[in-house]
A and B are shown apart, each in its own frame.
Chain A
């Protein structure tokens, strides 16, 4: 176990002050950070616990905008009927994170800040076009999630800066979203490939807006502009979804590792894009294609 010094912040002001004074790093649920500490791999010698800052743990609705505090846990998400209605893809992702013990502690902010290519909430949040509010003693900046994620375990956060919240807008009705995760074991496991999709349909039943994001197939979770441009304006259905899936392959660069080969990840990614789009379409009131 790594040697550290420990402080607990009870408020945001407290947190900024401790970050400035100690040059330490924040932890929330600790489900990634503690694993790193036990391997002597946490990138800081001072740990500041933010997990008790109530101001960062909330789920709010403001018109069509949903905002989620960074300290919101997976268990919180799963208990929220608001999120259940507005973002089934995010619920589906939260359901598959680890086991109940992980979901009770792990936070949405931590999943983003940890920036694992396989982070489960990242594809659904990308497909919801989520933005992230970063805050520090210096002030606040709001960035699209895609710009926050810089590489495996790398974000754009500056020293002293934290993730305060995540927000997204509901898609206009009829619309739907879905998330599918492929992993090597049924219980408790990391994604081999994951895909989220969101679809909004126009009055004629065509795709007004379609978004696709993939996890574990690139250095970060990624949106697929190629797939999205295939979808725009098309009639939803098997044929369209298959074309989108093929296009999505241009936006990913999977690697092979102990969990799967690169080739399998590519094939599986294509299959999952079709399935996720089907799921989103079904949720939007459509009929699943083959």
Chain B
């Protein structure tokens, strides 16, 4: 496609890169507003406790302390949450996890704030706590919330799973465990709020959802929506974890309390304890197949730990449920998913949104089945992958998009053969493994999923794109600029996306769910068509010619004579007249009425899918059990790459995150009762832990409804990584890992008695 486009499909340089390499990019914590005070949060030292009393007198007496805010001061709704309003802005009578915010100290300096935090006296009465979702389901388990520990229960079936197992020649049953992991964005949460003289608030955020933040802030502050203006700073990564309004709400409360400007910045420990993680889960799977490898039935029960608050847990549970059968056609499936409260730090959205958990189990079990049947795992997959025209077990139809699966499989086969030929160095054994994955795009049926974006011609003839959803660093702004430039036939350099400001930008939706380039791109293309109409109508008026006499071509208005007038002439005039040339369009994620099944809970099913596969080569020190991922080939169908380097960047970053999931990362409770809450114990992969070059193979099977055929690539890139690695470890050592992260101990060959 890139042959006949002039910017789509090319690696344009993202426009914020210059600021980012020179240190000029302004993240929230990089802007000091005049008279700004510092907010620091008093946090719960208990996993679960009743708050008997909060005495802030000593803190208020600390020189430089301006205010101490507690739940009693909250003027509006005491609780908030994206789905259920179960989370207090500041703890009300009870704390449910370690690190939960109890009070905010606002002070003139960090030192004064620290001194204040130390002397806020909170009297607690500890309560029993529970940390495991299966244990939390037991009768008599400590109750995290009054309504019981089950947040949501899904029970979704396609076919008749009992009948399916009756047909099976081979049935495998295994339990898999996946850890709680941190999104690990480099910029910890930060927010600055400014109380304006007119009783309104301006709040700077590092967030995936400024419009939703506005709503949540207004509700907790008891203000009308239009009294709150939310502005996006440069965002230092998000990965789902910044779909959370918690810190912005605290900053707003602090600014309201002192009627001034206050900045709150979490340190890394606070980020670990009090912001969303990926849900840990225990997955009980049962898979049945015919002797020839045909899959016939799959049943799964999943216990998902959402921690102390539900956040997006119910939605994650829904998607996890849908993703259980992976990229395979299985006629009889039943999945029961329980989203459970515990006293762990809460989990919410994170890149993959339930899919990585499901795929770890599914892709492991498929390899185990291949072993059981004595079949090549690639053959087994070839036999069972979804094909165009199939339906998921939810009933969601699968169109030609699935035609990428055989292509992906062939790339997998080639990469596997190439990597398998590399000999192991002395003292190590090598193995190659792979996994497939499917990921949905969009938020799911009956969840509002609209994106509105605006284009405006600046007086100089360049284009401003008011993208209504933030760029988290992944390059959404660049993609929107390229699509706008393409649609208007003007150079990429003449288009500039602006940061989200709820006072100026339309609502572009939440940046999530692998669909931003798709929805924003579609909306921008619609807006571009309207913008041309607006321009030509305006030009016709000014030139006193009929509209039909004019045409638009590449930044110019074409007159009947063939003569062209640069758009700038009209744009500047329109600006002078205060009627800027602009157009705005809303794209709604499509769920075709005729084919979308309607019997499922809200948010199900998803209707659009992407596929990928990854091949890993590992080397294992057999005696010590250490694993190194030496090579990784990632094959992903992206529909159409808008920006090639951008797509590769999504793949490479996703793979590295997947390597961390497989090998290193787990936010777990230590013997001393503290969580792993810093990078000393929570190990992110370093440059020495990922292959020097992660190889991307970009497959392009266009999505008919996508702008230029685009599909989503943001999440799937980390989904197959962990099972590809554990499958490779099994190939190398014969050891099957059913719980990640892999520990060396699990792989080490038991010592011969020396």
Which A positions have Cβ atoms within 8 angstroms of B?
1, 3, 99, 182, 184-190, 192, 242-243, 245-246, 257-261, 263-264, 267-268, 270-272
Contacts and interface: CB of A to CB of B under 8 A. Distances in A.
Contacts of B420: none
B374 to A, nearest CB: 33
Contacts of B628: 186
Contacts of B687: 187
A18 B663 CA distance: 48
Given A245-B754, A268-B624, 7 more contacts: A184-B683, A185-B685, A257-B671, A258-B671, A259-B681, A267-B750, A268-B744
B623 interface: yes
A226 B530 CA distance: 84
Contact of B686 (A1, A187, A245, A261): A187
Contact of A1 (B114, B689, B743, B745): B114
Interface residues of B, number: 29
A271 B748 CA distance: 11
A3 B624 contact: no
Given A182-B624, A245-B754, A268 B748 contact: yes
B745 A261 contact: yes
B111 interface: yes
B542 interface: no
Given A258-B668, A271-B623, A264 B748 contact: yes
Contacts of A1: 110, 114
Closest 7 CB pairs of A and B: A187-B686, A187-B688, A264-B745, A186-B688, A185-B683, A267-B751, A246-B754
Contacts of A192: 744
A271 B685 contact: no
Contacts of B688: 186-188
A267 B625 CA distance: 11
Contacts of B664: 184-185
A184 B623 CA distance: 14
Contact of A271 (B676, B681, B686, B751): B751
Contacts of A182: 624, 626, 744
A189 B679 CA distance: 10
Given A184-B683, A187-B689, A271-B623, A258 B751 contact: no
Contacts of B681: 258-259
B689 A271 contact: no
Contacts of B623: 271
Contact of A184 (B744, B750, B751): B744
B363 to A, nearest CB: 24
Main secondary structure of the interface of B (DSSP, over half): loop
Nearest to A187: B686
Nearest to B629: A186
A242 B664 CA distance: 31
A185 B748 contact: no
Interface string B699-733: 00000000000000000000000000000000000
B670 interface: yes
Contacts of A186: 628, 686, 688-689
A190 B685 CA distance: 14
A192 B745 CA distance: 11
A190 B679 CA distance: 12
Nearest to B669: A258
Contact of B683 (A99, A189, A261): A189
A258 B678 CA distance: 13
Contacts of B748: 264, 267-268
B744 A264 contact: yes
Contacts of B668: 258
B683 A271 contact: no
A1 B118 CA distance: 12
A233 B582 CA distance: 89
B686 A258 contact: no
29 contacts: A1-B110, A1-B114, A99-B686, A182-B624, A182-B626, A182-B744, A184-B664, A184-B744, A185-B663, A186-B628, A186-B688, A186-B689, A187-B685, A187-B687, A187-B688, A192-B744, A242-B754, A245-B754, A258-B668, A259-B681, A261-B745, A264-B745, A267-B751, A268-B624, A268-B748, A270-B751, A270-B754, A271-B624, A271-B751
Contacts of B689: 185-187
A258 B670 contact: yes
Contact of A188 (B626, B663, B686): B686
Nearest to A267: B751
Nearest to A190: B680
A185 B741 CA distance: 12
Nearest to A2: B114
B143 to A, nearest CB: 29
Interface string B88-122: 00000000000000000000001100100000000
Interface string B404-421: 000000000000000000
Nearest to A264: B745
A104 to B, nearest CB: 17
Interface string B612-631: 00000000000111101000
A3 B111 contact: yes
A271 B621 CA distance: 11
A263 B744 CA distance: 12
A133 B707 CA distance: 72
B726 to A, nearest CB: 17
Nearest to B267: A38
Contacts of A268: 624, 744, 748
A188 B684 CA distance: 10
Nearest to A256: B671
Nearest to A263: B745
B372 to A, nearest CB: 29
A37 B685 CA distance: 26
A271 to B, nearest CB: 5
A272 B621 CA distance: 12
Contacts of A263: 745
A267 B671 CA distance: 22
Contacts of A188: 686, 688
B672 to A, nearest CB: 9
Interface string B246-257: 000000000000
Contacts of A187: 685-689
B240 to A, nearest CB: 23
B744 A185 contact: no
A260 B624 contact: no
Contacts of B676: 258
Nearest to B752: A242
B270 to A, nearest CB: 13
A190 B678 CA distance: 14
Nearest to B110: A1
A221 to B, nearest CB: 19
A261 B748 CA distance: 13
Nearest to B745: A264
A206 B530 CA distance: 89
Nearest to B687: A187
Given A271-B623, A271-B751, A260 B685 contact: no
B370 to A, nearest CB: 30
A187 to B, nearest CB: 3
B686 A185 contact: yes
A189 B689 CA distance: 11
A186 B659 CA distance: 12
Nearest to A261: B745
Nearest to B681: A258
A116 to B, nearest CB: 12
A188 B664 CA distance: 13
A12 B371 CA distance: 69
A264 B750 CA distance: 9
A74 B349 CA distance: 42
